[in-house]
């Protein structure tokens, strides 16, 4: 499958690119970002890869431009893939009417309800098509893949990892929607994409998945700001705590005093998440390359 380079910039000794491709799964052109660290290429072993899932209204650009992740990813020798959050350019009726449903709000599910079912297949796109595309075009090691995300993307990271532990060996989230079945954002999205049968929603709710499947990987890492404007109404981290306790799953929930829902919060703690994933992924597949970049040194 052909990918088209939209932009590519040298960054901390590696490269930050943005690419597009025609997606059979989604049925339109999709964009994604890829940061490749300086340890990749030139005959070096493939590097671990992290998939970042963004939140409502975001594109692939938000994380690339605002998170400040490239410096530490370059040091650790980790690739980061940043897909878009929904199909674009379809012109479906009502697609752009609301910020929390439709355009920019795919919720990382495979829709079953018309008119969304043909194109809004973000679950299969993220778990199947995109990893294949990345492995075919970049020097990454699929056996050392992790996933993380923010808000709607935090929901996506948790649910995709819990459903695919053979694929994702490490998972973390910033301010995730912990139980979409029990918050307004999630109820709107899941009913619109999947219909009114709430039993079908359980495969897209982290708390229900923990109850049904558990998690045998490393502890779940979650950062949550104490002044997040959506904390009580939409995110509800206490529901994740309770679900992990019932399932016997280790959870490292870090309440960050004074932080809100913005990318300033993400940028403040992104290094913790990258180092968390680096530790977890080093034990799988081929031996991870040792860091070689001296940040701030001569080019």
Catalytic residue among 150, 155, 261, 273: 261
Q: What single DSSP character describes residue 41? A: S
Tokens of 235: 């995110």
The answer to whether the CB of 122 falls within 8 A of the CB of 107 is yes
Tokens of 250: 């280790």
Tokens of 208: 């229900």
Catalytic residue among 151, 170, 172, 179: 151
Q: What are phi and psi of 259, to 5 degrees?
A: -90, 150
CA 272 to chain centre: 16
**What DSSP assignment string belongs to 142-188?**
EEEEEEEEETHHHHHHHHHHHH-TTTEEEEEEES----GGGSHHHHH
7 catalytic residue (yes or no): no
261 catalytic residue (yes or no): yes
Strand arrangement of the beta sheet that strand 251-256 belongs to: 4-11, 14-23, 28-36, 79-83, 47-53, 140-150, 168-174, 220-225, 251-256
272 catalytic residue (yes or no): no
Identify the residue whose tokens are 């001569």: 298
> 264: how many CB neighbours lie within 10 A of its CB?
11
Catalytic residue among 223, 228, 273, 277: 228
Tokens of 284: 């799988």
**Which residues form the catalytic set?**
151, 228, 261
């Amino acid at each position: 499958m052909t990918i088209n380079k939209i932009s590519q910039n040298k960054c901390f000794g590696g490269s930050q690119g943005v690419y597009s491709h025609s997606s059979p799964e989604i049925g339109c052109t999709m964009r994604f970002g890829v940061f490749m660290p300086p340890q990749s290429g030139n005959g070096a072993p493939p590097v671990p890869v992290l998939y970042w899932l963004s939140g409502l209204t975001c594109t692939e650009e938000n994380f690339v431009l605002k998170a400040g992740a490239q410096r530490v990813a370059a040091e650790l020798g980790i690739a980061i893939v940043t897909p878009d959050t929904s199909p674009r350019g379809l012109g479906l009726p009502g697609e752009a009417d609301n910020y929390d449903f439709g355009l920019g709000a795919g919720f990382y599910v495979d829709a079953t309800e018309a008119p969304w079912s043909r194109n809004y297949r973000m679950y299969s796109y993220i778990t199947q098509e995109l990893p294949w595309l990345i492995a075919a075009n970049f020097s990454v090691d699929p056996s050392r893949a992790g996933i993380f995300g923010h808000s709607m993307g935090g929901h996506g990271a948790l649910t995709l990892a819990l459903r695919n532990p053979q694929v994702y060996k490490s998972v973390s989230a910033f301010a995730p929607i912990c139980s979409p079945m029990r918050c307004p954002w999630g109820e709107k999205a899941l009913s619109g994409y999947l219909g009114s049968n709430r039993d079908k929603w359980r495969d897209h709710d982290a708390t229900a998945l923990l109850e049904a499947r558990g998690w045998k990987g490393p502890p779940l890492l979650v950062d949550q700001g104490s002044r997040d404007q959506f904390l009580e109404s939409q995110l509800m981290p206490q529901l994740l705590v309770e679900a992990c306790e019932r399932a016997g799953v280790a959870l490292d929930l870090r309440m960050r005093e004074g932080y809100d829902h913005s990318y300033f919060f993400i940028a403040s703690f992104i290094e913790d998440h990258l180092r968390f994933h680096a530790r977890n992924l080093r034990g799988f597949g081929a031996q991870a390359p040792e860091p070689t970049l001296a940040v701030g040194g001569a080019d």
